[in-house]
Amino acid sequence: MKKVVILGAGFAGLHIFYKIRHLIGKKIEVTVIDPRTHSLLKPSLPEVAFEGAPISHSLVELEPTLTSRGAVFIQDEASHIDALDSRIELASGETVMYDYLFITVGAVKDYDAIKGYREYGYSVCDDKEAQRLWERVKTFEGGKIVAGAAKSTWGTRVDAPPLSAPCEGPIGEIMFMLDYYLNEDKHLQRGKDYKIDVFTPGEIFFEDVGDTPREVVGKYMKAREITLHNNKVLTEIGKDFIAFEDGTTMPCDLAIVIPPYGAPEALKRSQVGDEKGFIPTDGQMHHLDYPNIFAAGDITALAQPKLGHVAIIQGAIAAATLMKELGEEVEIPPHDLEVFCIMNMGGHDATLIVSDNLYGGPTDKAIYSPLSKMMKWGFDSYLYYNKGHMPPDFAMEMTDKLLKL
């Protein structure tokens, strides 16, 4: 029986687990390691921050989910990976050996890299921050709001688009959902009671898609009087201002940011990453230097943008690559990435974005419709009620066909 370890039970780790679980007890034993008790479904965090949705609907309890399906769950954090010895040291001091390792630890959201964040900044990127933001938003009585992503930097070992921000979809949700809440629910007046400014560190906002989604987003920003500022690299958040690398500042009563993304210190120390700590892989998600290590999701250097949909594509590839190595008859899907996300815009509004322009493909769609909102509800609920299990492949193929229609 081969020992398989999945390090990190987020989108990618759970997807891999569900893909390989039928081999447990036949060819493999699986151990999943994560410091959290619950996997966090991040796409529903904006509803926590701007609609007061209960956090419990974004959480999947790991221990019962995994052990009832034949895996061992260790609630702990990897503090070191000895890739030459196939050994993981955990924070508790325990050691775990593996024949195959999946590194799916996601990216660190480095709030502390932003001066003043802990005192004056807000975010939506994890359960604690999303709930903290809702406490602020529901008592906000008006003023200047500034939202945007900090600049992230990446390694150079693999050929991936070097985006300035990990993904700006959540910024879209922040600006539209907050505007909806303040305008429709709190009855504050745009322009008079509050004003939303958005910044991007990039030359263009939404740099991971083509012109069509950008035009749709731009149109609704204009309708809601949201102003965009390009090429703004965040340096500091103060009590009543936000500052940028070019020396400019903006008055600001509420700053909501996506912090820079980085790799966990444990990976940097273990020297299994590129110069920034992200895992370099080939298109079959094999580590470039260690053949018994696979990686998928935000922690891979190839995942640009850092998106759940990309984590799922890569997780499916990594799982199939292992299964093939174990003698199973499976096709390894190609590493064909695309941006696929549904941007919640408050109320019944949402825009579904599908684009592969970033990778040279022809698809570039944006569908603004209540149907998109229903799809988001359907997808998020499916994930929650099925314990982080993605909808079946045929449902995704049907969605694809519907979109083409």
Binding site for ligand FAD (CB under 6 A): 7-13, 33-36, 39, 42-43, 45-46, 77-78, 104-106, 124-125, 169-170, 264, 266, 297-299, 306-309, 311, 341
Q: What is the smallest separation between the CB atom of 88 and ligand FAD, expressed in angstroms?
A: 8
Q: What is the smallest separation between the CB atom of 35 and ligand FAD, expressed in angstroms?
A: 5
Q: What is the smallest separation between the CB atom of 207 and ligand FAD, expressed in angstroms?
A: 16
Give the number of other CB atoms < 10 A from CB of residue 391: 14
Q: Which is nearer to ligand FAD, 323 or 337 (CB)?
A: 337
Residue sitting closest to ligand FAD (CB)? 10
Q: Which is nearer to ligand FAD, 196 or 266 (CB)?
A: 266
Q: Which is nearer to ligand FAD, 167 or 243 (CB)?
A: 167
End-to-end CA distance of the chain: 47
Q: Which is nearer to ligand FAD, 120 or 278 (CB)?
A: 278
Q: What is the smallest separation between the CB atom of 191 and ligand FAD, expressed in angstroms?
A: 27
Q: Which is nearer to ligand FAD, 243 or 380 (CB)?
A: 380
Q: Which is nearer to ligand FAD, 221 or 296 (CB)?
A: 296
Q: What is the smallest separation between the CB atom of 310 and ligand FAD, expressed in angstroms?
A: 7
Q: What is the smallest separation between the CB atom of 285 and ligand FAD, expressed in angstroms?
A: 12
Q: What is the smallest separation between the CB atom of 251 and ligand FAD, expressed in angstroms?
A: 25
Q: Which is nearer to ligand FAD, 149 or 243 (CB)?
A: 149
